[in-house]
Amino acid sequence: MYFKNREAESAQKVFGVITERDVVLWTEMIVGHSRLGNGEYAVQLLIEMYRDKNTTGGFSLSSVLGACSDMALLRQGEVFQSLAIKTGLDSVMSVCGALVDMYGKYGKYQIAESEFSLVSNPDLKCWNSMLGAYSQHGMVEKALSFFEQILVNSFRPDAITYLSLLAACSHRGSTQEEQSPPKNNHAELWRTLLSACVNTKNLQMGLYGDEQILKLEPEDTATHILLSNLYAVNGRWEDVAEMRRKIRGLTSAKNPGLSWIEVNNTQVFSSGDQSHTEVSRAQDELHRLKSSMLYRDHHPMNKIHSL
């Protein structure tokens, strides 16, 4: 109840007073925190659960594997995959789907394909995970072919299916492959279409997509940024300036987003934060790379070679 109402702290208090915790209760905590974006704590809970019960379950493992994907924790995800194999849960549908999703996000689509092939009767979620792997890395032809297989296997595509398909088409600029507007009100679908319109400079379709998104999420910063980019590629600089003013007003009232990267251990960065211990080294390296690119672009010999 508390997790469904996004009250993780209250759920944690209830969990804390229970002395005899069964697998179901542990799983509720892991899945609940994972769905609310508390991935690090979900990972910690699964480790504690395994120490306490010497067992785990498919739902808890798949949730934690999903958290590892979101936080760029590939090594930790591989550890949990080993645990899945050890406990015989590697063939469970939800676990297989989570592994396909994890390896797909890291660009290891061959491993993702191998995991997908292990599922004897994959559900739509599992198909979507593999489709997402292809589309995320610009493998347009494979994504379109895989979509056809989804239809051949008598599945009815959902919003996630079309989102992945639109993302694949946006890599190639194929906005005409999905020219009929989505019939459902999923903002992410429209946002992906808007991104594709930026790539193809399709102002009319992009403005229509923007209108649909803002009906659902009026203060969505990502949409405003995409619209600003759409105006820019079409040379509408006054509109760009107006959108930038709106974006500054929206971002000033929100907490900054976080990014994770795994180098030796997990590093966490947030927008505008200068407190990270490696920030000076990161900025120095960025300046070095910029200088190298400028030198390459302006060096006479490089211009000759480019001809």
Chunked into runs of 10 residues, the chain (307 residues) has average pLDDT values of 92 92 92 90 91 88 89 86 88 88 86 87 89 84 89 86 77 57 62 77 81 81 85 87 81 62 67 70 85 72 50
Percent composition of the chain: helix, strand, coil (DSSP 3-state, to 5): 70, 5, 25
Kindly state the greatest CA–CA separation across the chain: 74
Given CA atoms 244, 250, 256, 259 in this order, what sign does their dihedral have? negative
- Compute the residue count for the chain: 307
The answer to whether residue 278 sits within a structural domain is no
Predicted local distance difference test score (pLDDT) of residue 253: 55
Number of structural domains (the chain) is: 3
Same domain assignment for residues 4 and 84 = yes
Same domain assignment for residues 4 and 55 = yes
State the residue range of the domain holding 63: 1-90
Predicted local distance difference test score (pLDDT) of residue 306: 47
Predicted local distance difference test score (pLDDT) of residue 13: 95
Domain boundary (223, 242, 257) is at 257
Same domain assignment for residues 78 and 141 = no
Same domain assignment for residues 141 and 187 = no
Same domain assignment for residues 238 and 153 = no
Predicted local distance difference test score (pLDDT) of residue 222: 81
The answer to whether residue 186 sits within a structural domain is yes
pTM of the model as a whole: 0.62
Domain boundary (172, 204, 226) is at 172
Predicted local distance difference test score (pLDDT) of residue 8: 92
User: By the 8 A CB rule, do 30 and 63 touch?
Assistant: yes
Predicted local distance difference test score (pLDDT) of residue 307: 45
Listed residue (59, 63, 58) closest to 44, CA to CA: 63
Predicted local distance difference test score (pLDDT) of residue 271: 63
Predicted local distance difference test score (pLDDT) of residue 302: 57
